[in-house]
Amino acid sequence: MMLKVDPLAIRQGDRLALSRALTIVENNAPESRELQSALFPFTGNAHLIGVTGAPGTGKSTLVNQLAKHLRQIHQDRKVAIIAVDPSSPFTGGALLGDRIRMNDLAGDKGIFIRSMASRGALGGLAHNTAAFVTVLDGAGFDQIIIETVGAGQAEVDIASLAHTVVVVEAPGLGDDIQAIKAGILEIADIIAVNKADRPGSENTARALRAMLNMAQGKKHAPAGKHIMVSVDTLTSQTPPEIAWDPPIHTITATEGKGVNALVEDIHKHAVYLHSSGLWEKKEASRLRRDLESLIQDSLLRKWRYELDHQHFETILNEIIERKVSPIEAVDLLL
């Protein structure tokens, strides 16, 4: 099969080819699978850094700074940013802020930014993010920053995808956000309290430390046993003497204050993962999930292809008329 985009061009740093490849992958175009397979042998090198937190914490500014600092420290290492847009799930438009950011970093050939619309079907976002990572990793990016907004599912997804999760907090965002913290703290490898110039940032850092200690306690309690998320399981397999204690940084991203120390800890975390054997385990879990998700897609596609559509519509009508339940209908259809 002829690919519209040459994987070799992507490997050699052709920006246009890379952009096209990501569009192909995002739109799930026919050549998407072929392209990912062609790049896959070259993957497995990138450090995947997730940056997440509630809206209003200044994540985007921090991501911007992180990219700059990562480049300053190691000029031979390329940085890619995947910004998962909080913009329309329907129109998938890019944000103005995103474009401003692009201009700011545009001078550096070692930085590549791509935003992704959070549109599409259930789980589509996680699926696309994984595909973007494959393409960018295969293209030779050494560090891939994945920026996600929001609560709930997005955090679980980033925890299973990234090697290192940076959770961004800010002082005084209200009770609602306080509640979210409890959840995302448990996926944090590093915590950044942004807007350190605002009142209350030290209090926030202290409160986070306390919550973190509580969460750490929980992690090793038997109650955690039933939890299905692999990252957590992996952590509990680590001998206590080499356990990672998430550091808390107070930073002012707008001025770049404290970002250097944060970047140092990001590098330290990568070293920790390698030396503890967790890196390999995380990679294996991630690839297992990728494979299972692809299998699920393929099964559904195969079933759709072989489906007797008239039979399906007849049964759907019986569901609408409450003659059969959806669960009973599955038995009739499979």
Site for a second copy in 280-319 (CB under 8 A): 283-284, 287-288, 290-296, 298-300, 302-303, 315-316, 319
In sequence order, what E strands does 170-253 have?
Answer: 190-193, 248-250
Least Å distance, CB 249 to a second copy, is 20
- 8 counts as binding a second copy under rule CB under 8 A: no
Tokens matching residue 303: 């079933």
Selected binder of a second copy within 157, 169, 189, 265 (CB under 8 A): 157
By CB under 8 A, which span of 5-13, 72-80, 120-128, 239-247 interacts with a second copy?
Answer: 120-128
- Which SS3 state, helix, strand or coil, does residue 113 take? strand
Three-state SS string over 255-311 comes to HCECHHHHHHHHHHHHHHHHHHCHHHHHHHHHHHHHHHHHHHHHHHHHHHHHCCHHH
Least Å distance, CB 220 to a second copy, is 12
Contact characters 184-223, a second copy, x per CB under 8 A: --xx------------------------------x----x
CA 135 to each of CA 11, 42, 124, 164, 206: distance values in angstroms, whole numbers, following the listed order: 10, 9, 17, 19, 40
Pick 87 or 143: Cβ nearer a second copy: 87
By CB under 8 A, which span of 4-12, 64-72, 81-89, 267-275 interacts with a second copy?
Answer: 81-89
The distance in angstroms from the start CA to the end CA of the chain is 33
Pick 48 or 125: Cβ nearer a second copy: 125
| CA 4 – CA 76 distance, rounded (Å) | 29
Q: Is 46 in contact with 133 (CB distance < 8 Å)?
A: yes
Q: Contacts with a second copy in 36-75 (CB under 8 A)?
A: 36-37, 40-44, 54-60
Least Å distance, CB 151 to a second copy, is 4
**If binding means CB under 8 A, how many residues of this protein chain bind a second copy?**
92
- 126 counts as binding a second copy under rule CB under 8 A: yes
Best CA proximity match to 162, nearest among 67, 261, 285:
285
- 10 counts as binding a second copy under rule CB under 8 A: no
Least Å distance, CB 311 to a second copy, is 13
By CB under 8 A, which span of 71-79, 168-176, 247-255, 263-271 interacts with a second copy?
Answer: 168-176
Residues 6+ apart with CB under 8 A from 112: 15, 18, 78, 79, 80, 81, 136, 141
> Where do we find the tokens 């392209």?
35
